[in-house]
Structure 1
Amino acid sequence: MRLFRAGVVLVLCASLLNGCGFTLRGTEQAAMPIDELAISYPGGRYPLAEVLRDALIANGVTVPAVPGDALELRLSPERLERRALTLNNRGGAGQYALTLQIDASVFLSGQLLDGPETVEVTGSFYEDTANISGSNNGVEQTLNDMRQDMADFIIRRLREITL
């Protein structure tokens, strides 16, 4: 019974501390120093731009369709490297490592403010030669996860920009 009471008191104390706004250092995210940021990227399909746009909007940043006088994030074409990590029993690659890279720069009224910085993320996936469509879905899911990680990194870097 005593142990139960101690547990209840501990939970209540933790709830009170959390309720009054107490957080441990490093666990609270800093506010974005920018209100508006345009994203420029090479023509055609660019999945990272969609993920990044969603992340910026979730952080309270307006993303205009046309740069104008707003801050502008310029992204280079994605570079994808794929290399074999392990071999399967048929002598083909069983597991692959993927490396996705872009160069990112921040401009203000056409003038370089920050960058260019190369952003790189890695991931891996298993290829099942008996299920090619499943393997292709695995590659796409891995790339989607990598793009989300890349967008999160870019958001963290944008928080560090001083205007």
Structure 2
Amino acid sequence: MKRRTFLTCLAGITTALVLSGCGFQLRGYGAPELSIERLALSAADTGPRAQLTQRVSQTLESAGVTLDDSAPLRLNLGEAKTTERELSFGDAGNQEREVTLTLPFSVQRVSDGAYLLDQQQVESRGTFYTSSDQLLSRDDQREELLEDLRDDAARRLLERLRNLDTQSVSTH
């Protein structure tokens, strides 16, 4: 019995060493630093979009980016679009609904207006379950899912900005 436990532990350690040796990284760990120190944020703060803009601002600031209107780069957030569709069939019983949040964005140099990323978008999806007996709680479930989707869209946007080459941007 002890030999089996030892071999299991040995196999686990070997697997961990092999995965670390081949460059495997857990999501979010060992991610490259964001090369953008200052960024101007351009977005209309109206309706549900204001919550998404606020979430993007918080995510950028927590990553060490200073939001400043005089920054050399501008992040332009477009009109966020939310779509919902029913995945299950029939009117009775549980219904599975999918919500998709799409956030268009672009990044441009302020000095000459050139786009470093033009007409890009991040998309986040999720599902929730409801039934015909829970019509009042459907809105609460949808709003809870939208909160998660906003967080996810802000994280995805940050990942896209991590991959942006900012070597050609002057920082004065």
Counterpart position of 1:144: 147
| Secondary structure of residue in 1 paired with 2:55 | helix
1:153 matched to 2:151: no
| Secondary structure of residue in 1 paired with 2:87 | strand
Superposed counterparts of 1:41-120, under 5 Å: 41-45=43-47, 46-62=50-66, 64=67, 67-86=69-88, 87-89=90-92, 94-109=95-110, 111=113, 112-120=115-123
Superposed counterparts of 1:127-142, under 5 Å: 127-142=130-145
* C-alpha separation in 2, matches of 1:59 and 1:114: 20
Q: Is the 1:128–1:134 Cα contact (8 Å) retained in structure 2?
A: no
Question: Aligned-residue CA RMSD in angstroms?
Answer: 2.9
Residues 23 and 107 (structure 1), Cα distance of their counterparts in 2 relative to 1, 3 Å cut? farther
Could you tell me the TM-score, scaled by structure 2's length?
Answer: 0.72
* C-alpha separation in 2, matches of 1:76 and 1:132: 32
Deviations 1:102-147 (A, max 9, x none): 2110012161221221222221112233233322111011111111
Between the aligned residues of both structures, percent identity stands at 24
| Secondary structure of residue in 2 paired with 1:127 | strand
Q: CA deviation at 1:48?
A: 1.5
Q: Is the 1:78–1:100 Cα contact (8 Å) retained in structure 2?
A: yes
Residues 127 and 7 (structure 1), Cα distance of their counterparts in 2 relative to 1, 3 Å cut? closer
Q: How many correspondences in the alignment?
A: 154
Identify the range of structure 1 (125-134 vs 74-83) with the bigger mean alpha-carbon deviation.
125-134
Could you tell me the TM-score, scaled by structure 1's length?
Answer: 0.76
Alignment counterpart, residue 35 of structure 2, candidates 30, 33, 36: 33
* C-alpha separation in 2, matches of 1:131 and 1:71: 47
- The letter for the 1-side match of 2:61 is I
Unaligned 5+ segments in structure 1 are 10-16
Residues 26 and 107 (structure 1), Cα distance of their counterparts in 2 relative to 1, 3 Å cut? farther
Alignment counterpart, residue 125 of structure 1, candidates 128, 138, 141: 128
Q: Is the 1:84–1:96 Cα contact (8 Å) retained in structure 2?
A: yes
